[in-house]
Amino acid sequence: MISIRDLRCGLLDIRSLDIGPGITSIIGPNGSGKTTLLRLLAGITLPESGEILVDDRPPREVETGWVNEFPDRNILFDTVSDEVASPLRFRRIPCSETSRRVTSHLEFMRLVHLSTRPIRDLSGGEKILVALAAATIHRPSLLVLDECDSHLDEIRAQETDRLLSGTGARYIIRCTQQMESAAHGDHLIYLEQGRVIHAGSPQDVFRSLAVTAFYPLAWRCGV
């Protein structure tokens, strides 16, 4: 369980929130604190006050994969294979094992066709897919994704959801502006002005948002 207690950081003000294992989507207006919450969960930012525990450990002690909402800010190296290998190299994994795992992981993520491509030549969506591969190759228990799906087409986003579920991450927490995608997760959190307004199953949260623009169009259309 991820537990958040008396958390304050900038605009964010969360008294108590528990997040169970599985896929959790965070939605809300621009500037509501979604990225701040994700950065705190990933251990990139420390709270001004309060506490976050991931299975009783602070985020910085948890194996975490992170993908930034700005695709270019994820990238450190020139080629796709070097970028995907980097988390293993930083952990001093032997070269032969790194090479084997990169090959296998690119196949798993269906990115073999990009392996030798310079990253500067990739499209925005392709950069995000590479960042996702790099974030998952070391099998993190916590995967934190900041609006990755805004760069993906519908079919690739659905396929990526399926692949990420197979990475073994106990917690996948992502913010999204695609409500149909949020409807398919295990848990849903709606933030507004730094506060959790609704949290629960997608059905319960969206029921509370039925008269807002956040309600999934497919549900509204009954399809």
Partner 1 sequence: MRIVLDDVCIAREDWNLSAGGIFTEGTHLISGDIGSGKTTLALLLAGLLQPSSGTVEREKIADRMISFQFPEYHVTGSTLREECASWGIDPAATLKGVNLTGKEDLSPLRLSRGELKRLHLACVLAKHYDLLILDEPFSSLDCREKDRICNELSCRTRGITIIFTHEQMQFPRVDFIWEITGGSLRCRGRLPDALPTWEHAPGVVKKLIRRGKIPANLTQKDLMEAACRT
Binding stretches for partner 1 (CB under 8 A) = 28-31, 34-35, 69-72, 121-126, 129, 147, 150-156, 177-180, 212-214, 216-218, 220-223
The residue (of 1 and 217) whose beta carbon lies closer to partner 1 is 217
The residue (of 171 and 206) whose beta carbon lies closer to partner 1 is 206
Smallest gap from Cβ 42 to partner 1, in A, equals 16
Reading the block at residue 198, the tokens are: 């609704």
Smallest gap from Cβ 146 to partner 1, in A, equals 8
The residue (of 124 and 168) whose beta carbon lies closer to partner 1 is 124
Please, where are the H alpha helices in the chain? 34-41, 80-90, 95-108, 124-136, 154-165, 179-182, 202-208, 217-221
| Nearest partner of 85 among 69, 98, 104, judged by Cα | 98
Smallest gap from Cβ 12 to partner 1, in A, equals 12
The residue (of 1 and 218) whose beta carbon lies closer to partner 1 is 218
- Coil, helix or strand at residue 71: helix
Number of C-alpha atoms within 13 angstroms, CB side, residue 19? 29
Contact in structure between 189 and 25 (CB atoms under 8 Å): yes
Smallest gap from Cβ 182 to partner 1, in A, equals 11
